[in-house]
């Protein structure tokens, strides 16, 4: 029962993570494709893109907490060893998550499994683990502007040269559903959040306010650039007789998974607002929110199990919207029972044990599981 009462856990992060997982259930299990604000029947489409982005931002928060949180281990005598241990733990976690993702992908469902992308983002985050919140926020903002252009250019090259599109690394970095090159903006944004004092209510309020502001700006500009009357500059480049013509219209709009600057900014804002509000209400409303918190505390296990269940229940047919409800209710009940009886999820327990063991030999102190576990 220690996991239930552990004061080191930031319950709001578990609540936000639980919402992300339940949202991804909807994206995979019959949520409407198109969001129309005037049509309540379409409102379930809000989970598309935003749920996985919230998941990625929270991954950045977890990396920041594992690498020392606000202090970045500077308050410890063994700062060098502590940082080395955290790097080892994150690398080992990334490798294990990649293997789990590969196994789930091999089930060949209609779900685009995020875990392999997630693992690669973990690895690419390691060089930035010593950065402060300000630097990480600036990096995330700059990358939100630059990375969509890079993805369009590299995607054009991959398409022109055929076989490159089928290369796993190219898929993960550029052409897949969660292109890591662009999605690093979400991870760095989350790392910046994780460098703040997330136990302070004023920080949660600021996250909520800034998040709403980013969402309004990002989505407003996205709507404005969705207008077909907005001109798109065409340009070609190439070498050795191959002419490459990037589709610059891919930089406009805010469609889910479009990877435009406007989607990145707007959805990052939604993620920050959800994290801020979750931090504010998680502890006072814990009896009500405990089932969602439990889903979040066992997020990797729950996400993986839902992919397996999808493969078993829907081998041929696409699920209907009712499947989302049944999966969500089942997860809320089972995760609550598991959390009360066993605490940490099975995959979470495994990854923590292996990563801690891998880092044990570094420095004079033993590794302890931190609040991000």
pLDDT tens digits, residue range 85-144?
999 999 999 999 999 999 999 999 989 999 999 999 999 999 998 899 999 999 999 999
Percent of the chain with pLDDT over 90: 63
Percent of the chain with pLDDT over 70: 87
pLDDT tens digits, residue range 240-263?
555 677 888 889 988 888 899 999
Q: Give the lowest-confidence range in 60-74, 115-129, 219-233.
A: 219-233
The answer to whether 109 touches 29, Cβ cutoff 8 Å, is no
**pLDDT of 369:** 45
Task: Give 26-29's long-range contacts (Cβ < 8 A, gap of 24+).
Answer: 26/51, 26/324, 26/328, 27/51, 27/52, 28/110, 28/111, 28/306, 28/310, 28/319, 29/310, 29/319, 29/321, 29/323, 29/324, 29/327
> Does the pTM exceed 0.85?
yes
* CA–CA gap between residue 196 and residue 363 (Å, rounded): 26
CA proximity to 191, closest of 296, 79, 280, 268:
268
Q: How confident is the model at residue 237 (pLDDT cuts 50, 70, 90)?
A: low
pLDDT tens digits, residue range 150-183?
999 998 888 877 667 678 899 999 999 999 999 9
Q: How confident is the model at residue 368 (pLDDT cuts 50, 70, 90)?
A: very low
């Amino acid at each position: 029962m220690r996991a239930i009462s552990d004061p080191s856990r930031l319950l709001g992060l578990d609540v936000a993570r639980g919402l992300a997982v339940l949202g991804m259930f909807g994206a995979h299990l019959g949520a409407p494709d198109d969001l129309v604000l005037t049509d309540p029947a379409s409102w379930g489409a809000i989970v598309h893109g935003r749920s996985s982005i919230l998941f990625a931002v929270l991954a950045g928060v977890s990396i920041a907490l594992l690498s020392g949180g606000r202090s970045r281990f500077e308050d410890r005598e063994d700062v060098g060893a502590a940082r080395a241990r955290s790097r080892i733990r994150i690398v080992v976690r990334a490798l294990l998550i990649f293997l789990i993702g590969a196994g789930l992908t091999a089930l060949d469902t209609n779900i685009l499994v995020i875990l392999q992308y997630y693992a690669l983002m973990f690895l690419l985050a390691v060089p930035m683990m010593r950065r402060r919140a300000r630097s990480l926020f600036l990096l995330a903002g700059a990358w939100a502007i630059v990375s969509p252009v890079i993805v369009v250019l590299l995607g054009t090259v991959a398409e022109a040269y055929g076989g490159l599109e089928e290369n796993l690394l190219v898929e993960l970095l550029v052409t897949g559903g969660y292109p890591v090159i662009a999605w690093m903006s979400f991870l760095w944004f989350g790392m910046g959040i994780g460098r703040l004092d997330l136990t302070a209510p004023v920080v949660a309020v600021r996250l909520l306010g800034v998040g709403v502001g980013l969402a309004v700006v990002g989505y407003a500009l996205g709507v404005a650039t969705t207008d077909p009357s907005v001109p798109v500059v065409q340009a070609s480049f190439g070498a050795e007789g191959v002419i490459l013509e990037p589709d610059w219209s891919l930089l406009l709009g805010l469609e889910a998974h479009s990877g435009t600057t406007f989607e990145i900014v707007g959805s990052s804002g939604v993620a920050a607002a959800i994290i801020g509000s979750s931090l504010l209400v998680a502890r006072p409303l814990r009896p009500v929110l405990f089932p969602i918190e439990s889903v979040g505390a066992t997020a990797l296990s729950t996400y993986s199990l839902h992919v397996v269940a999808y493969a078993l229940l829907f081998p041929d047919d696409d699920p209907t919207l009712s499947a989302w409800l049944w999966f969500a209710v089942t997860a809320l009940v089972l995760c609550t029972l598991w959390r009360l009886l066993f605490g940490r999820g099975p995959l979470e327990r495994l990854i923590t044990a292996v990563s801690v063991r891998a880092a044990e030999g570094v420095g004079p102190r033993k590794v302890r599981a931190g609040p991000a576990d």
